[in-house]
């Protein structure tokens, strides 16, 4: 995801939610409106300035189009498409335009996937054995660590932008997750990563890269949870690695999809819930 001597710009977001139980401790996976998977993705945007100009130019043109003049999501007060692109909120006509543009941008994406039915069983077992409660932050940070394990050594400077999660400042926790990813790489390869790493948390409206990774995650989630691949296929060449960490049918560490094992609908173990 970049050549040595360069500055790499990474953008991190999530799809689905990490909630496994209701307030009474009853599993909610499988209920209407509850995601079956949770995903964390990182997009390496080769030229953030060009990507910003392209997406903001598209958004400006769409907002000026009389066809969208009275659409609620296109009104400034709605804080949706008028503020930034968000696949879940954007009209199908808008999504079509965004997907077309994304195919023209130099972006590389990696995603970690956890299946919530399996996570719920793991959480219950851990509690039964006297362990700590499995938290959303713990899961998120672990997925971030896995995603960056083999990325941080490739550039002199790594600028990592996280989508803001709630109101709590988690800069230290995210920094620790990145540090663990760095340490794991060093331990595996017996070398030291002496690279600059800068972290920041922003709203999607403040960083176009977060809007980009949102669209990639939305397309992948549609594939996994609705078995709808038409959006994923538009972006498939840009996915460099997809780690289905809970599909341990063949390997204990999960199923990894990449150039030598491209993700196709028939390969996905059905997601339950």
Per-residue pLDDT of 161-191, as tens digits, reads 999 987 666 788 889 999 999 999 999 999 9
What class is the 7-47+106-267 domain? alpha beta
Q: Are 164 and 15 in contact (CB under 8 A)?
A: no
Mean pLDDT along residues 49-75: 96
Q: How confident is the model at residue 128 (pLDDT cuts 50, 70, 90)?
A: confident
Q: Where are the beta strands (DSSP E) in the chain?
A: 7-15, 37-45, 107-115, 157-163, 196-202, 239-244, 255-257
pTM of the model: 0.94
pLDDT digits (tens, 9 = 90+) for 72-121: 999 988 889 999 999 999 999 999 999 999 999 999 999 999 999 999 99
Q: Are 55 and 101 in contact (CB under 8 A)?
A: yes
**Residue 160, strand partner residues:** 10, 199
Distance CA 204, CA 161 (A): 10
Q: How confident is the model at residue 3 (pLDDT cuts 50, 70, 90)?
A: very low
Q: Are 39 and 218 in contact (CB under 8 A)?
A: no
Q: What pLDDT shows up at residue 2? A: 44
Q: What pLDDT shows up at residue 221? A: 97
Q: Are 174 and 162 in contact (CB under 8 A)?
A: yes
Q: What pLDDT shows up at residue 246? A: 97
With the C-alpha atoms ordered 236, 106, 59, 57, is the resulting torsion angle positive or negative? negative
**Residue 43 above 50 pLDDT?**
yes
Distance CA 247, CA 264 (A): 14
- Listed in sequence order, the residues at least 6 apart from 36 whose beta carbon sits closer than 8 Å to its beta carbon are 16, 29, 30, 115, 116, 117, 224, 225, 271, 272, 273
Mean pLDDT along residues 125-136: 85
Distance CA 135, CA 113 (A): 16
Distance CA 148, CA 209 (A): 17
Distance CA 220, CA 48 (A): 22
Sorted by where each begins, the domain ranges of the chain are: 7-47+106-267
Whole-number average pLDDT of the chain: 92
With the C-alpha atoms ordered 88, 89, 93, 99, is the resulting torsion angle positive or negative? negative
DSSP string of 62-119, one letter each residue: HHH-GGGTT-GGGSGGGTSTTT---TTTS-HHHHHHHHHHHTTS-EEEEEEEEEHHHH
Q: How confident is the model at residue 16 (pLDDT cuts 50, 70, 90)?
A: very high
Q: How confident is the model at residue 22 (pLDDT cuts 50, 70, 90)?
A: confident
């Amino acid at each position: 995801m970049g050549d040595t001597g360069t500055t790499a710009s990474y953008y991190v977001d999530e799809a689905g939610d990490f909630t496994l139980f209701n307030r009474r401790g009853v599993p909610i996976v499988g209920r209407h409106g509850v995601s079956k998977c949770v995903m964390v993705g990182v997009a390496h945007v080769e030229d953030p300035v060009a990507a910003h100009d392209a997406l903001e130019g598209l958004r400006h043109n769409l907002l000026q189009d009389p066809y969208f003049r009275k659409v609620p999501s296109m009104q400034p007060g709605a804080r949706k498409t008028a503020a930034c692109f968000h696949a879940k909120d954007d009209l199908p006509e808008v999504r079509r335009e965004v997907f077309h543009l994304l195919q023209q941008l130099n972006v590389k994406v990696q995603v970690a996937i956890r299946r919530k039915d399996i996570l719920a069983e793991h959480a219950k077992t851990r509690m039964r054995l006297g362990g700590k409660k499995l938290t959303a932050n713990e899961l998120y940070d672990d997925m971030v660590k896995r995603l960056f394990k083999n990325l941080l050594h490739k550039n002199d400077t790594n600028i990592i932008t996280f989508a803001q999660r709630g109101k709590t400042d988690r800069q230290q926790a995210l920094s620790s997750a990145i540090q663990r990813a760095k340490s794991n790489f060093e331990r595996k390869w017996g070398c030291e990563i002496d690279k600059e790493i800068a972290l920041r948390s922003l709203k999607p409206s403040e960083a176009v890269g977060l809007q980009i990774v949102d669209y990639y995650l939305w397309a992948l989630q549609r594939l996994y949870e609705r078995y709808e691949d038409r959006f994923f296929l538009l972006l498939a060449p840009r996915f460099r690695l997809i780690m289905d960490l809970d599909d341990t049918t063949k390997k204990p560490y999960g199923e990894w999809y990449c150039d030598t094992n491209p993700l196709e609908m028939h390969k996905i173990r059905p997601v339950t819930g």
